[in-house]
Structure 1
């Protein structure tokens, strides 16, 4: 970390400079430890924690015990997320679609990655697809061999998915072969996270009713963390990532025994 130029000059760093340094460190190192950061800057830990709180309030990082981790770009609004990693999500969707077999019962999550997967499924597929996403259901209307089960409930507009007790009840009556899950954050230590508690509960419920849980893992989600826990990496049966994803980014997941599927 390059702090020496700021330390010992007798000129205190401005708040904006500290915050920029925090974000730069997150981008380069993937974490900020408040105690270490304050010591190296010669400032109180309370000052750094205040900076972290303010940056978290702006959605620029996710606070965790002792410091902060990168915030997921997947917490942006739906129109913005539809423009993020479009080509990579399409490649991931094609790879995930290649894992599907005739006769299976699938559960497709909500969000942009799941919609891309729905569009990538072959038109001659014969399967049952359950989803709590109206967008996914619409994307599959032209698949004559796909039986659709649309889970109802209160619509969480951030992801345009059904949540709540009615949705949980509907999920409880379905057993899926494979659940293709989309999340906001995928972290080697903190597992899978998303930004809403009810949406996290829905994802957990679906995973528990599925024989396999496969994560659609576009690059911006790897190493990021959001506020609400979904499941741990030990409950994941595979990550589907884009071909260009760096080996050092994937190594912590492979070390934990998570199978990795690279898109072509």
Structure 2
């Protein structure tokens, strides 16, 4: 089997199974583990997979600007956002960071909601303009234009004085073993602080982000309270159930 053919098979297996172990792949393709490791290293350099200690994970969706992401899987994001409404009650203090799924969530909030919403996302703050009984607290900092959120030491320090009933976390990548991760260390630090100041954390995750990993870990998945997703198979659901996460799919 040619190297290019073998590497294409590896990518196809990973796309179907979401995670591969080097030793298992060696047996399945009848080549040495050293050969598999070289393949994984090359595929990782090409950005086709993400190497981890024992094998590889899928690469998550490409990191693109906020406006572009608004038009990707918008119908699915709306469905996830509607499911999240079951966890929203009047008089809650809700912390919401950036993300197009989170923006869809805000768009689904009833105009009669009475709550306090804290956010570091200008688009989300603006989307709450017509919610007369929602107090909106905008957290300052340096605007990270790609994600349209404020980040930095000012953002983290502002969060020190806040406590939320529920944190709606925007998710880039999630794996039940490795945790929740993002490409940017600045976003990781702010999101980690948001988890720490909130009683519960909810994440709405499209299926292309499941079993993927990025460079900066925010927290273990066990710190999630609710995971709202789509097309989750029994194997993955069990992994989250074992961490006492309420999975809605």
TM-score computed with the length of structure 1 as normaliser: 0.86
TM-superposition CA deviations, 1:114-172 (whole Å, max 9, x none): 11111111111111111111111111112111111111112223311111101101111
Q: Is the 8 A contact 2:143 2:149 kept in 1?
A: yes
Of 132, 135, 138, 2:120 maps to 132
Please show how residues 1-264 of structure 1 align to structure 2 within 5 Å. Answer: 6=1, 13-14=2-3, 16-38=4-26, 40-41=28-29, 43=31, 45-73=33-61, 75-242=63-230, 244-262=231-249
- In structure 2, relative to structure 1, the CA distance for the partners of 1:59 and 1:151 (3 Å cut) is farther
Give the superposition deviation at 1:18. 2.7
Give the superposition deviation at 1:79. 4.0
- Give 3-state SS (helix, strand or coil) of 1:23's partner: helix
Give the superposition deviation at 1:246. 3.7
- Give 3-state SS (helix, strand or coil) of 2:71's partner: coil
Higher Cα radius of gyration = 1
Separation in structure 2 between the aligned mates of residue 176 and residue 62 of structure 1, nearest angstrom = 34
- Aligned-residue CA RMSD (Å): 2.1
Q: Say how many residue pairs are matched.
A: 249
Q: Which runs of 5+ in 1 are unaligned?
A: 1-5, 7-12
TM-superposition CA deviations, 1:62-116 (whole Å, max 9, x none): 2111321111116344344323322121011112123211111100121111111
Separation in structure 1 between the aligned mates of residue 53 and residue 187 of structure 2, nearest angstrom = 23
